[in-house]
Structure 1
Amino acid sequence: MTALAHGGVGRRIAYYRSVVRPKMTQKQLAAAACVALGTIRKIERGERGVTDATLEAIADALGVDPARLRTDRGSAHTRVHDALPALSDAIAAYDGPDDGPVRPLHDLRTAVVEAARWRLAAQYTRIARQLPDLLMELARAYQTAPAVERAEIAGLLVRAYRSADAVAYKFGARDLSARLIELMRWAAPEAADPLLTASVAYVRTETFFAARAHGPGLRALEMALAAAPLPRTAMEIAVRGALHMRAAVIAGRAHDVSAAVSHLSEAGVLANQVPEGVYYGTAFGPDSLRIHEVSVAVSLGDDHTARALDVAGEWKPPADLPAERRSGFYIELARAQLWSGLADDSFESLKVARRIAPQHTREHPWVREDAATLRRLKRADSETLTSFAEWCAAT
């Protein structure tokens, strides 16, 4: 991968790091960008170049477009869309991949884990660039592996398809997202892991959200809950709890108050039994439950919106939660604030979401809708709001 020249890039990174609100230390930037601290130090001192992937990760962590760090670069939005055809080509050949190299199984595991980390950090440009080749390699591995390894490779395929789906779904390629989910459903039984199958049911809910088929989506999740292993181990508890959280949200979208409250309550019981963490690719625990309380309240709307404001008034998502989930909290809170007549607070929440996960925030349809509404209301500084609205393509 081509490295950018030394010098100006490092100075720009140091500048934006020093003016981010709140200001970031080099250590904080390294953690947020999933880049080694020593690498950050060398880049800022101009002692080494910056690869495309590293620059994009740093820009995401700083909440700026990579073009601001290096003026000859296009936007992350454009690069992701340009990469989608390659992703589509890769999955079209899932059962007949072309010839090519296959790394050892432990290297494939590492690559899949890294892609999942990018997904949780909302670093979609990295996924878009790396996943086409990885998916093709995993397909080759699955076709050529000895029987003893096929189940594990099938599981790796499911996890890699999920990371690719995050890009397709967030960037509006809904047909591609649906194809990826179907491939997840194809590969999951081959992995012979009931918890992995349950995690696929969690992701599959995207297709129901996209189609606004909330009733069928709720029924599909309830069927998945019936088939999921009983909650004995921490993993089993967390996977079941995540399904209940998802069911609560889609029940809210269906305006089924009883089901929403019931599933949220079940999720709460389970969340109190495990520490916050990422289980089978999904964050679950007490903090994730609070975020879903806000999500359910916003989904139900009307008199329930006040609950979202109550949660936000006494709690904020901790910094160690995945960036995608934290930004989602502020996006949903912004909508609740807008509906409650708190336009200025709503805009502040959108800006926080942008600082946490710029790509996730920019591609979220609610952000565009709410930014457009705020712009019409003219309740925030017009220049700043106009700039934000143009950034997220609000109309």
Structure 2
Amino acid sequence: MAEHIGQRIASRRRARRMTQADLAREAHVSLSMVKACERGVRMPGASTLEAIAAALAVDASRLDPAYTGTSSRVHAALPAISAAIAGYEYALDPPRSTLDQIRSEVAAAVEWRLAAQYRLIATQAPRILGEVLAHLHRGEAARLVVAAARAADAVAYKYGAHDLSARLIDVMRWAALQAEDPVVSATVAYVQAETFLAAHAHRAGQIVLERALDATPAPLDELSTAAIGALHMRTAVVAARAGDPDAADSHLREARALADRLPEGVYLGTAFGPSSVRIHEVALAVSLGQDHIGRALDVARGWSPGNEIPAERRSGFWIEVARAQLWSGDPDDAFESLKTARRHAPQHVRQHPWAREDIATIRRLKRADAESLTAYAEWIGAV
């Protein structure tokens, strides 16, 4: 089977006139991995197969007919995640792992979330959640519970399980109360915005997030500065979707002022810094609607996020830029931006409703480039 998969990879690569080095670069895998896969020496793992398939503009099942896909694997894991938090308020079983062991596993789950590796999260989240909750009931691990639940929430939210997402956020809020830590509470409020975004209850979300900001003490160190800055960033976008541009701009200014104090980085699982604020300025402009797309395009002109930004957020930036480009009447550039988004985080793009909507629109407008557009649309599930 590995040999056949390798042959399919090589055949598709040659059809697209790509060298092995081109494929490695586009898929963000090593050249030695590409060579080994094509020779049949190595069987690509699920994440590698999806990355290669994305670079070749095909569904992973075209390369490996036995591959069931990330989506089906994630959906199959959701009931186990739900069961893992069913009795989160109660001490059910003692932990089986040491606190150091589970801390390492939660750190890996955070990395997977930032890299949009949802399949890995889905398969590991039930056990990790059970372990961190067991440790919390022994008086430890409140921050770890928040981090683990947030990783699981990324899967639930992206794959449309919004009821499960809301329950995971309830677990985070409960753990934050145990921690009695305003930085953790600000982080949870940041994630809670998803509930309002999913329900399109933007005005309610703006009020809740602004109240969370009012309840947060002034920042004293890097972690609190980043947590409050990120919350201002998220509130700016929610306010924009609520149709309140003045509040949106005010929150973005607050976020920018706090970001100027810090290097770009990941703080308690949230990327924050000057580049993150710049990305959110694009999101704010797109959220405000077509009258503001010039602002989004101005930010994106001559600038793009580098590797200091997690893959999921880089991908989101290009999805937002693509929408602005499409609204401005430039479907060619919009398609290029969507292809760039896929190179950074294919699993994230595949679950993003805007990416699916926009590629379908571009395909209607650009019949002359039907082959590559159709391949992308089939990959994302838009046709």
Instruction: Assess same fold via TM > 0.5.
Output: yes
| Number of the residue aligned with 2:287 | 299
Provide the aligned C-alpha RMSD in A: 2.8
Cα separation, 2, equivalents of 1:293 and 1:76: 31
- The amino acid across from 1:353 in the alignment is A
1:24 and 2:30 aligned: no
Matches within 5 A, 1:309-348: 309-348=297-336
Secondary structure of the corresponding residue to residue 381 of structure 1: helix
- The amino acid across from 1:318 in the alignment is G
1:161 and 2:149 aligned: yes
1:89 and 2:83 aligned: yes
| Number of the residue aligned with 1:196 | 184
Cα separation, 2, equivalents of 1:42 and 1:22: 10
Secondary structure of the corresponding residue to residue 352 of structure 1: helix
Q: C-alpha offsets along residues 236-274 of structure 1, whole Å, 9 cap, x if unaligned? A: 111111011101101110111101111111111111110
Deviates more, 1:272-281 or 1:74-83: 74-83
CA contact (8 A) 2:20 2:35 kept: no
Cα pair distance change 1:156/1:392, threshold 3 Å: same
Cα pair distance change 1:350/1:6, threshold 3 Å: closer
Q: CA deviation at 1:376?
A: 2.0
Cα separation, 1, equivalents of 2:192 and 2:277: 20
Secondary structure of the corresponding residue to residue 250 of structure 1: helix
Task: Choose from 119, 122, 127 the match for 1:125.
Answer: 119
CA contact (8 A) 1:63 1:355 kept: no
Cα separation, 1, equivalents of 2:285 and 2:53: 28
| Number of the residue aligned with 1:232 | 220
- The amino acid across from 1:254 in the alignment is A
CA contact (8 A) 2:318 2:340 kept: yes
Q: C-alpha offsets along residues 103-127 of structure 1, whole Å, 9 cap, x if unaligned? A: 1110010000000000000000000
CA contact (8 A) 2:23 2:52 kept: no
CA contact (8 A) 1:344 1:380 kept: no
Task: Choose from 254, 266, 269 the match for 1:278.
Answer: 266
Cα separation, 2, equivalents of 1:48 and 1:111: 30
| Number of the residue aligned with 1:34 | none
Q: CA deviation at 1:70?
A: 3.9
Cα separation, 1, equivalents of 2:240 and 2:192: 17
Q: CA deviation at 1:63?
A: 5.5
Identity %: 53
| Number of the residue aligned with 1:33 | none
- The amino acid across from 1:366 in the alignment is W
Structure 2 gap segments, 5+ residues each:
none
1:249 and 2:237 aligned: yes
| Number of the residue aligned with 1:172 | 160
Q: Greater relative contact order: 1 or 2 (C-alpha under 8 angstroms, separation 6 or more)?
A: 2
Cα separation, 1, equivalents of 2:62 and 2:216: 47
| Number of the residue aligned with 2:172 | 184
What is the number of residues matched between the two proteins? Answer: 374
Cα separation, 1, equivalents of 2:253 and 2:368: 37
1:107 and 2:136 aligned: no
CA contact (8 A) 2:26 2:343 kept: no
Cα separation, 1, equivalents of 2:289 and 2:162: 26
CA contact (8 A) 2:9 2:38 kept: no
Secondary structure of the corresponding residue to residue 24 of structure 1: helix
TM, length-normalised to structure 1 = 0.86
Cα pair distance change 1:25/1:379, threshold 3 Å: closer
Cα pair distance change 1:68/1:323, threshold 3 Å: farther
- The amino acid across from 2:194 in the alignment is E
Cα separation, 2, equivalents of 1:159 and 1:13: 37
